[in-house]
Amino acid sequence: MENEYKTNLLKRFITSIGIIVPIILVIMLQNFWVFTVMISIICCLAFYEWVTNNLINRYLFGFNLIFLFWFCSVYFVYDYSLMLDDALVQFSEVFSSLSVYDIFLLIVLNTAIFDTVAYIIGSNFGKNYITPRISPNKTFEGLVGGISGSAIFSLIICQVYNLNSWLVLIFIIGGIFAFIGDLNISFHKRQRGIKDTGSILPGHGGILDRLDSHLIATPILLILTLEVFILL
């Protein structure tokens, strides 16, 4: 069991690196159309898995959920990359040298860190299960560990970029919504009697298995960070 856990953790780590590196490269380009193509491909693959796994025949629900992620990602990056001078000055005063692409990356990393820490803590120390009928591996210990990971990550970001400490609370909220998103997809998979939506990502499963936490957390964090945090 321990060897299986270590093997799976190694697979997850290698796959995560393989996912995050191309995303970072796209972010570094800071080209709206390249960014949009990347997000569109990811969302199309996720919806394909939703349909092929016949997740309770809720194609409309799946489409709306994935479309929300796509729309918020593309809309906010587009909107904040075309700011006029006055808005750009306000944005720069709040976010220092960060661009909207950098903020999107930080949001994605926050959710990934929440997921990873929650998985490690839950697998090693988890005893109190939250929803055993929906997702038998989700524990309170893992949830607290994930939230702690988000808090530490956001504290580091605040120190490095001299940002308002309200960002810590916002990223913690993002972690909680990442958990809800994960639980939501787990519920649909449980209804269909499947563990993963695919096998394209070793250690994770399918695209939807990796995207589940981001589907709700990313739109919420984009709204809170770019529409609320900037006013604090």
Q: Which tens digits make up the pLDDT trace of 118-162?
A: 988 988 888 888 888 877 788 899 999 999 999 999 999 999 998
CA dist 33 and 174 (Å) reads 26
Q: Classify 137 as helix, strand or coil.
A: strand
Question: Is the model's pLDDT at 217 over the cut of 70?
Answer: yes
Three-state SS sequence of 9-76? HHHHHHHHHHHHHHHHHHHHHCCHHHHHHHHHHHHHHHHHHHHHCCCCCCHHHHHHHHHHHHHHHHHH
For residue range 197-214, list pLDDT tens digits in order.
877 777 667 888 888 889
For residue range 78-121, list pLDDT tens digits in order.
888 776 556 666 677 778 778 889 999 999 999 999 988 998 89
3-state helix, strand, coil in the chain (%, to 5): 80, 5, 15
